[in-house]
Structure 1
Amino acid sequence: MPKMKTNRAAAKRFKVTAKGGIKSANAYTSHRFHGKTKKQRRNLRGTRMMNETTIKTYHELLQK
C-alpha cells in the first residue's frame, strides 16, 4: 500500500507544534487596515493556535 501524501497546500499554511497543536497565520491581514481599529490590528499580529475541534481534520491533511 502506498504512503499517504501530505496535502501541500495545508503544509504551506500550518505548522504542527511539539505538543500536537496547529498554528497558523491570521486572516484579514492583507489590506484595508483603515477600516480596523488599533486594537484589531494589534491582535492580528503573529500567529494563532487552531481550534481543538478542527485539529483532527488538519492532522489528517498534514499526516502528523
Structure 2
Amino acid sequence: MKRMLLLILSFAFLGLWIVGLFSPDRSSSIHIALIVALLFFLRSIMTLGVDIPAVKKTSKENN
C-alpha cells in the first residue's frame, strides 16, 4: 500500500514537473519546485523495488 501511494505521488510530481516546463511563467521559484519534484521522483523510483534485507550475524562472526 505504501509503495502504491509513493508511486502515485511520484507520477503526480512528474506530471507537475512536465506541466511546469511548459508554463509561460519562468520565475526562479517554479524552477526550484521543478528540481525538487524531479529529485523526489527519481529517488522514489530508484527505491521502489529495493528491499534491504536485515543483516544477520552468523555464529562465526559473533566469536
What TM-score, normalized to structure 1? 0.26
What TM-score, normalized to structure 2? 0.26
From the two aligned structures, give the one with the greater strand fraction.
Answer: 1
Q: Which has the larger radius of gyration?
A: 2
